[in-house]
């Protein structure tokens, strides 16, 4: 995996430079909010390249999930743009972005609880017309517990297992980029470590992963690239290691 530059100070300009000249996925200089409400994002830039894990961290209310949703097309941008693999997708709907290659796992309501594990995975492949059995087996190889519980209703699984179903369902579209909104929310530290291990394994296949996380320290430990947001704007941008070692980041966002 490639390693970005050292942390840069506030502003989207530094984040753009970090992402490189042609990042695979970039939401650049994004400003916007929901409906006619006030702007939540302010000149915010996030990007990720193949084989990278990029994480978005920051305090509560910093606009982390909003930035992710903006990249996925769930709110209108008043300024800025989103590009995927060199194509401007700023004005595409979320459904159209899925067809372009985005896999998105929301924080909540991300599985069909009354359906079996296998049925959830099959539903994830709704845009495909080819044979999906090989992809299902790949998901089961990645998450072996799901193979054992393939005929069990997903609503009966533990929180960590449900998250594995949600990630597996997103992978069924064979996405070009995987976006995870707080995948470890509400799970135990042991389950969090296991989910992070699986996320690393997915990234090693070359799939870019963009992730919002409340567990900032643990997320930065596995990140190639990190974005610290404050009030909807880039506060710090750098490699995960550099952000962990930055005194200002540690003091302000990591508890010292």
- Residue with the bigger pLDDT between 177 and 214: it is 177
Number of domains forming the structure of the chain: 1
**What mean pLDDT is predicted for residues 120-132?**
94
Structural domain contains residue 38: yes
Structural domain contains residue 116: no
Question: How sure is the predictor about 243, in pLDDT bands with cuts at 50, 70 and 90?
Answer: very high
100-104, 138-142, 189-193, range with the lowest pLDDT: 189-193
Domain that holds residue 222: 1-99+211-242
Structural domain contains residue 65: yes
For residue 215, the domain's CATH number is 3.40.50.300
Structural domain contains residue 54: yes
Which pTM value belongs to this model?
0.88
Contacts of 212 (CB under 8 A, 6+ apart): 55, 56, 57, 64, 65, 67, 68, 107, 180, 181, 182
Between CA 248 and CA 212 the distance in angstroms is 20
Q: What does the pLDDT read at residue 256?
A: 60
């Amino acid at each position: 995996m490639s390693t970005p530059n050292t942390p840069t100070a506030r502003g989207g300009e530094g984040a753009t430079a970090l992402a490189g000249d042609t990042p695979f996925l970039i939401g650049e200089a994004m400003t916007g909010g929901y409906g006619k409400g006030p702007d939540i994002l302010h000149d915010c830039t996030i990007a990720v390249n193949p084989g990278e894990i990029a994480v978005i961290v920051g305090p509560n209310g910093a606009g982390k999930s909003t930035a992710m949703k903006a990249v996925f097309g769930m709110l209108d941008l008043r300024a800025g743009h989103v590009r995927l693999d060199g194509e401007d997708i700023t004005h595409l709907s979320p459904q159209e972005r899925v067809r372009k290659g985005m896999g998105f796992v929301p924080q909540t309501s991300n599985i069909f609880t009354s359906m079996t594990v296998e049925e959830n995975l099959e539903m994830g492949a709704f845009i495909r017309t080819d044979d999906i059995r090989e992809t299902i087996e790949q998901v089961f190889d990645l998450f072996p517990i799901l193979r054992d519980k393939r005929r069990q209703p997903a609503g009966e699984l533990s929180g960590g297992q449900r998250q594995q179903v949600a990630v597996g369902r997103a992978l069924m579209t064979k996405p070009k980029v995987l976006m995870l909104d707080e995948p470890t929310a509400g799970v135990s530290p042991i389950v969090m470590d296991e989910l992070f291990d699986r996320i690393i394994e997915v990234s090693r296949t070359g799939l870019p992963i963009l992730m919002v996380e409340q567990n900032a320290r643990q997320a930065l430990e596995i990140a190639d690239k990190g974005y610290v947001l404050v009030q909807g704007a880039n506060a710090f941008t750098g490699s995960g290691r550099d952000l962990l070692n930055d005194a200002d980041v540690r003091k302000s966002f990591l508890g010292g």
